[in-house]
């Protein structure tokens, strides 16, 4: 599967996806990703606490997102082709831009970017904001934006709904995988705060 980088700045062509997380207070949540017409495009399953798999509508594994922990270092999130975490299938890595826990900025690197300078993508979420943004490298060019919608209504239904708007020509599965990376990152921060 090829992952395309953004081509140009075609903000007149926006693709909108809807991401619904079901049973987010329970274990083994499942997330479904649809078009605005309700057509199923992808879904995400959790195979282990530190691993999620992005699948196509038929259940075929497209990408695996793996959360790698090491003592005294920033957690790293790795995106692999298929359902394997073999190093030969590694495509992308992501980590927090800062060691400070309140930071919600992540840098994303292609596996071919050996120097890791600059980053290939950046994920930014402002403090107390419901939205966060996917940028191309260190630039201000926004590739995609995601926002939680119908928050109170969905809370009562034990689900969470987000709207993902993609502004540039980019592989949809890759952007969804970046969403999963950031979601895992935020969940890990919340889990650590609860342990204190």
When pLDDT is cut at 50, 70 and 90, the band that residue 38 belongs to is: very high
Q: Is residue 173 part of a domain?
A: yes
When pLDDT is cut at 50, 70 and 90, the band that residue 195 belongs to is: low
Taking CA atoms, 12 is separated from 8, 64, 69, in Å, by: 11, 31, 40
When pLDDT is cut at 50, 70 and 90, the band that residue 178 belongs to is: very high
Q: What local confidence, expressed as pLDDT, does residue 191 receive?
A: 72
Residues in contact with 174: Cβ distance below 8 Å, sequence separation at least 6, in sequence order = 3, 4, 63, 79, 92
State how far the Cα of 40 lies from the Cα of 54, in Å rounded to an integer: 13
Cis peptide leading into 165, omega within 30 of 0? no
Q: Is residue 6 part of a domain?
A: no
Q: Write the CATH number for 24.
A: 2.40.160.200
Q: Is residue 110 part of a domain?
A: yes
Q: Is residue 4 part of a domain?
A: no
Q: What local confidence, expressed as pLDDT, does residue 86 receive?
A: 94
Per-residue pLDDT for 3 more than 50?
A: no
Q: Is residue 7 part of a domain?
A: no
More confident position, 25 or 36: 36
**Which pTM was predicted?**
0.84
**Share of residues in the chain with pLDDT > 70 (%):** 78
Q: Number of folded domains in the chain?
A: 1
Q: Is residue 151 part of a domain?
A: yes
pLDDT tens digits, 91-143: 999 998 877 655 678 999 999 998 888 999 999 987 777 788 999 998 888 99
Q: Is residue 60 part of a domain?
A: yes
Q: Is residue 9 part of a domain?
A: no
Range of the domain at 133: 15-194
More confident position, 11 or 163: 163
């Amino acid at each position: 599967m090829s992952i395309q980088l953004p081509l140009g700045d075609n903000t007149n062509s926006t693709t909108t996806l809807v991401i619904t997380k079901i049973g987010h207070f329970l274990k083994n949540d499942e997330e479904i990703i649809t078009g605005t017409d309700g057509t199923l495009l992808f879904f995400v399953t959790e195979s282990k606490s530190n691993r999620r798999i992005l699948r196509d509508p038929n259940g075929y594994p497209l990408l695996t997102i793996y959360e790698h922990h090491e003592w005294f270092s920033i957690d790293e999130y790795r995106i692999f082709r298929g359902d394997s975490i073999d190093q030969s299938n590694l495509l992308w890595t992501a980590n927090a831009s800062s060691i400070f826990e309140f930071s919600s900025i992540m840098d994303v690197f292609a596996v071919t970017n050996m120097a890791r300078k600059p980053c290939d993508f950046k994920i930014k979420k402002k403090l107390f904001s419901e939205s966060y943004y996917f940028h191309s490298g260190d630039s201000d060019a926004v590739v995609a934006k995601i926002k939680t919608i119908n928050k109170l209504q969905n809370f009562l239904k034990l689900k969470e709904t987000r709207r993902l708007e993609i502004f540039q020509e980019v592989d949809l599965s890759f952007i969804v995988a970046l969403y999963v990376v950031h979601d895992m990152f935020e969940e890990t921060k919340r889990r650590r705060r609860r342990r204190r």
